[in-house]
Amino acid sequence: MKKKELIPGLILIAALLVLLRYLELHISPQSQWAMLLTVLKKGSIYALVAVSMNLLNGFTGLFSLGQAGFMMIGAYTYAVLTIPAEQREMVYMYYEGGIIRFALPSIVGIILAGVVAAVFAFLIGLPVLRLKSDYLAIATLGFAEIMRALFQWDTLGPLTNGSNMLRSYPTFKTILYPFIVSGVCIALIVMLINSTYGRAFKAIRDDEIAAEAMGINLAHHKRIAFTVSSFFAGISGALLAMFQTNVQAKSFNSAMTYEILLIVVIGGIGSVTGSVISSFLFIACSEWLLRFLDETHVIGDVTLPLMRSGFRKVVFSLIIMVIVLFFRQGIMGNREFSFTRLFSGRSKKSKGGKADE
Amino acid sequence: MDWFSRNLPYFLAGISVGGQYALIAIGYTMVYGILRLINFAHGDIFMVAGLLMVYLSASLPVFLAIPLVIILTVLIGFTVERVAYKPLRQAPRMSVMISAIGVSYLLQNLALYITGGLAQQYPAIPWVSDQITVFGASTKRVTVITPFLTIILVILLVILIKKTKIGMAMRAASKDFETSQLMGIRINSVISTTFIIGSFLAAIGSLLFFSNYTGVTPTIGTMPGLKAFVAAVFGGIGSIPGAVIGAFIIGICENMIMMLNQYVRFDISNFKDAFAFLLLIIILLFKPTGLFGEKQTDKV
């Protein structure tokens, strides 16, 4: 964001927060608009993890499929550390209250969620980041599967509660919370992308060999991108845990990573604003807007064919296939959304390179 | 002897599962060899073959249902390639892989819609699903058939690739995609043939697999699919014997873990699925091209 955009930008953000608060206070949980709040909350959380995946796939050219694994690490770290001491006996009922007897404040839990995910990413990154494209993808996917098995392991039960659910930890009271945390994190990612590191990432994406010849330390920069991305995935995992009010390792499967990847692709690989917009669209479509497809409709005497439970997802995946096949650039391509450009009406090409191979 | 009869079922199951993974892994390794694409939808093709069998055998006798399942699966594999991968031939590789993930998502959701999310009971195939006793261990006949059938199919496939014209075209395409086009090889028909062979073997694999594990759910293809891919990478992607050996190793090791589980103090059965990936990460670190893979050099 340029200097002259800063003030309008801040005003816009403040207005957005006020609007959200207004919506939250005036939509009753019974009304049909209540889904809007759910979509907004979940969308903001997915926006963060999508942007963090975009940092890897879109800006550094590392095709990683471990995002759900790092979210799981974040979610578990948060939940394990913040369950109030008096609730532990009940949550860990099969493991005599677990081995942790203290509870950290929520905000510390969130930061630690990111830190632990980042530490795991750093360690796993040491060996796997040497791998190239597809091999990296399958190795990170494999890593996520290993972690999922580890977290459900009965022997680690006193720590992770085995395959049982973790719950009773503090959650957020207001919709502003996920928005502010996600917003701050996305702002940090954008700052990283615009820094010299970000330019080095893009150089690596466009041509590894050329980047190395220009004096960029490949291993070092890839490790930074991977660790930072996982840090934010961990934080979004903690937010997701708060949103769901319970965590179970089995929900963080490869299908979840694919969903995040599809969000990134729909938004445009290499566009932060694209990822954010498409997160909200994706969640809104899958949770809310297409709901009517799941219900049987009768017009006159004719029952509309095909419409029954599950049809929504079929239509949704067809839409995704159409986007993947015919609109490969996604919503934003690798451009960024900007109000000044929108209002001045000229479509200036951004300076970002292409995200090919 | 007691030890032997107690652990024999694990060996048998391992070899049998290994054979089933091998049949799926060949589809991965052939497609990767030519297109450099991880066909994420391949595991779901395998699942669809299972569902087709469930629905077809409800109304048709088994000897009609089986060939029909195979034909339909091949048709689906062919269609997926034509619709979802062919238009992206000039696109960056990542787009094709994302398209594969999209197809996988679509097939799973379609299966969810049709089945209503309930596990479908796989029909018992006469003779194949019968219980037999091998050296005192009771098992289904399919367990014994699988490794032999796998080996026969692999030998036929290798002959096809080594001796026939289309096989030669496939080898040429996997060596150098662009040059083979210039030499007059019709690349689209080569790729279609690859998908047809892959889907055919996946259909056979699904017949064998589901005779043992009889619940078909929309997501059941994911795990065997990923493991078969790991097997293909382990053996050296692009190499058919490599994929088969990799698949047998993974199948056997996986069941060894279940066997060990009787003796160790901790419950390690959770790691049955994770083991394949651990093996993958280890092999990629020490021999990134797999056991029988060709050395690749980067060109600037």
Give residue-wise pLDDT tens across range A209-266.
999 999 999 999 999 999 999 999 999 999 999 999 999 998 998 889 999 999 999 9
Report which of B288, B12, B115 is spatially closest to residue A132, judged by C-alpha positions.
Answer: B288
CA B103 from chain center: how many Å? 17
Residue B300 has pLDDT above 90, yes or no: no
Residue A351's pLDDT band (cuts 50, 70, 90)? very low
Max mean pLDDT range (A8-17, A346-355, B24-33): B24-33
Which residues on adjacent β-strands are paired with residue B139?
B132
Q: Choosing among A56, A132, A135, which should be mutated to test the B contact, i.e. which has the most B CBs within 10 A? A: A135
Contact B277, B254 (CB under 8 A): no
Residue B152 lies in a domain: yes
Chain B contact for A295, CB < 8 A? no
Q: Which domain holds residue B75?
A: 13-218
Residues present in chain A in total: 357
Pair type for strands A166-167 and A298-299: unpaired
Residue B225 lies in a domain: no
Distance from CA of B12 to the nearest CA of A (A): 25
Distance from CA of B115 to the nearest CA of A (A): 10
Tens-digit pLDDT profile for residues A115-144:
999 999 999 999 889 887 788 888 899 899
Residue B88 has pLDDT above 50, yes or no: yes
Q: Choosing among A54, A60, A138, A161, which should be mutated to test the B contact, i.e. which has the most B CBs within 10 A? A: A138
CA A20 from chain center: how many Å? 20
Residue with the bigger pLDDT between A291 and B196: it is B196
CA A187 from chain center: how many Å? 14
Residue A344's pLDDT band (cuts 50, 70, 90)? low
Residue B177 has pLDDT above 90, yes or no: no
Report which of B87, B104, B109 is spatially closest to residue B229, judged by C-alpha positions.
Answer: B104
Residue B280 lies in a domain: no
**Arithmetic mean of pLDDT, A147-157:** 88
Residue A295 has pLDDT above 90, yes or no: no
Tokens of B203: 């259909």
The dihedrals phi and psi of A167, each to the nearest 5 degrees, come to -155, -170
Give one DSSP letter per residue of A85-135, joined into a string: HHHHHHHTTTTTT-S------HHHHHHHHHHHHHHHHHHHHHHHTTS-HHH
* Cβ neighbours, 10 Å, residue A308: 15
Residue A275 has pLDDT above 90, yes or no: yes
- By percentage, how much of chain B surpasses pLDDT 70? 97
Q: Which residues in A lie closer than 8 A to residue B295 (C-beta atoms)? A: none
Q: Which residues in A lie closer than 8 A to residue B118 (C-beta atoms)? A: none
Report which of A218, A181, A227 is spatially closest to residue A52, judged by C-alpha positions.
Answer: A227
Residue B164 has pLDDT above 60, yes or no: yes
Chain B contact for A250, CB < 8 A? no
Domains of chain A, CATH where assigned = 3-25+33-289+327-344 (1.10.3470)
Note the pLDDT of residue A35. 86
Residue A345 has pLDDT above 60, yes or no: no
Note the pLDDT of residue B296. 61
Q: Which residues in B lie closer than 8 A to residue A130 (C-beta atoms)? A: 285
Residue A70 has pLDDT above 90, yes or no: yes
Note the pLDDT of residue A350. 40
pLDDT, mean over chain A: 87
Q: Which residues in A lie closer than 8 A to residue B276 (C-beta atoms)? A: 142
Give one DSSP letter per residue of chain B, joined into a string: -HHHHHHHHHHHHHHHHHHHHHHHHHHHHHHHHHH----TTHHHHHHHHHHHHHHHHHHS-HHHHHHHHHHHHHHHHHHHIIIIIGGGTTS-HHHHHHHHHHHHHHHHHHHHHHHTTPPEEPPPPTTTT-EEEETTEEEEHHHHHHHHHHHHHHHHHHHHHHHSHHHHHHHHHHH-HHHHHHTT--HHHHHHHHHHHHHHHHHHHHHHHHHHS-EE-TTTTHHHHHHHHHHHHHH-TT-HHHHHHHHHHHHHHHHHHHHHTTTSSS--TTHHHHHHHHHHHHHHHH-TT-SSPPP-----
> Environment class of residue B179 by beta-carbon count within 10 Å: exposed (0-12), middle (13-18) or buried (19+)?
exposed
- Interior angle at CA A252, CA B213 and CA A193, nearest 5: 140
Residue B52's pLDDT band (cuts 50, 70, 90)? very high
What is the count of structural domains for chain B?
1
Residue B276 lies in a domain: no
Distance from CA of B105 to the nearest CA of A (A): 6
Note the pLDDT of residue A154. 83
Give one DSSP letter per residue of A256-281, joined into a string: HHHHHHHHHHHH-TT-HHHHHHHHHH
Contact B19, B251 (CB under 8 A): yes
Gyration radius of chain B over CA positions = 19
- Interior angle at CA B216, CA B212 and CA B219, nearest 5: 120
Note the pLDDT of residue A71. 96
Query: Checking phi first, is residue A222 left (phi over 0); if not, alpha (psi -120 to 50) or beta?
Result: alpha
Residue B267 lies in a domain: no
Integer Cα distance of A335 and A349 in angstroms: 8
Residue B291 lies in a domain: no
Residue A75 has pLDDT above 90, yes or no: yes
**Arithmetic mean of pLDDT, B134-163:** 89
Integer Cα distance of B296 and B300 in angstroms: 13
Q: Which residues in B lie closer than 8 A to residue A270 (C-beta atoms)? A: none
Q: At what angle do helices B62-80 and B187-212 cross, to 10 degrees?
A: 140
**Arithmetic mean of pLDDT, B210-226:** 88
A window 313-332, beta carbon within 8 A of B: 313-314, 316-318, 320-321, 324-325, 328
Distance from CA of A232 to the nearest CA of B (A): 23
Tens-digit pLDDT profile for residues A156-212:
888 888 888 898 899 988 889 999 999 999 999 999 999 999 999 999 999 989 999
**Arithmetic mean of pLDDT, B91-110:** 90
Residue B205 lies in a domain: yes
Four-CA torsion A194, A195, A198, A203, nearest 10 degrees? 100
Q: Which residues in B lie closer than 8 A to residue A262 (C-beta atoms)? A: 98, 101-102, 105
| 3-class secondary-structure state, position A331 | coil
Any idea what DSSP says for residue A164? S
Q: At what angle do helices B141-163 and B240-260 cross, to 10 degrees?
A: 160
Residue B67 lies in a domain: yes
Report which of A71, A53, A73, A72 is spatially closest to residue A63, judged by C-alpha positions.
Answer: A53
Chain A contact for B106, CB < 8 A? yes
Report the run of H or E that residue A303 belongs to, with start and end.
strand A302-303
- Interior angle at CA B11, CA B10 and CA B16, nearest 5: 95
Integer Cα distance of B140 and A67 in angstroms: 40
Complex ipTM over 0.90: no
CA distances B61 to B55, B66, B121, Å, are 11, 9, 16
Count how many pairs of residues, chain A against chain B, have C-beta atoms within 8 Å. 137
Four-CA torsion B103, B108, B113, B115, nearest 10 degrees? 140
Note the pLDDT of residue B1. 60
Query: Could you tell me the end-to-end alpha-carbon distance of chain B, in angstroms, rounded to an integer?
Result: 60
